[in-house]
Amino acid sequence: MLPLPTYIVLGSMILYGIVIIVHAIYSHEITRCSIEAGILIGVAVLLNRGTGFPIPKQPFGGIPPLPAIGIIFFCTILGTGGRYLFYKKGKFSWESFLKPVGIAPILFLPLIGAVKGISEFDFIQLLS
């Protein structure tokens, strides 16, 4: 992985961690902030175990684009649904849940166009 993207990801993770801590102090939403911090730490551990992030140990082989696009698409829908459930206030509504999940594929189309000419993905690209 190139140094600049590594520094951007690392800086973003540190900044998000600081935001979580500040939010926990001022809002007293300890449970929610603990969940967010746990997910952030989990992502950092996953990146470290999979690639040696922030200092990669060795390059990984490529992943063919069709399975990679399928994984990214699934994770996009899963993340959209997870965000709805995490921020939901009040009673669950299928309509409110399915609207963002239905929009996710539309937002995913530019990504497919951007990766159309790529023959394979690196492991770090897929995790990101």
Q: Cα–Cα distance between 96 and 84 in angstroms, integer?
A: 8
Residues 8 and 49 in one domain: yes
Q: Which residues of 80-115 are buried (b: 16+ CB within 10 A; e: fewer)?
A: beeebeeeeeeeeeeeeeeeeeeebeeeeeeeeeee
More confident residue, 92 or 22: 22
More confident residue, 112 or 22: 22
Give the pLDDT mean for 16-29: 90
Residues 4 and 28 in one domain: yes
Query: What are the tens digits of pLDDT across the range 102-121?
Result: 777 777 767 666 666 666 66
Residues 65 and 128 in one domain: yes
Of 30, 58, 86, the residue at which a domain comes to its end is 58
Residues 54 and 65 in one domain: no
pTM higher than 0.85, yes or no?
A: no
pLDDT of residue 21: 92
pLDDT of residue 18: 92
Query: What are the tens digits of pLDDT across the range 34-84?
Result: 988 998 898 888 877 777 777 765 544 555 666 766 777 787 777 877 787
Residues 77 and 30 in one domain: no
Structural domain range at position 109: 61-128
Residues 24 and 71 in one domain: no
Query: What are the tens digits of pLDDT across the range 89-102?
Result: 888 888 777 777 77
DSSP-derived secondary structure letter, 56? -
Residues 14 and 54 in one domain: yes
Give the pLDDT mean for 17-31: 90
pLDDT of residue 1: 45
Residues 128 and 65 in one domain: yes
Q: How many domains does the structure of the chain reveal?
A: 2
Residues 49 and 107 in one domain: no
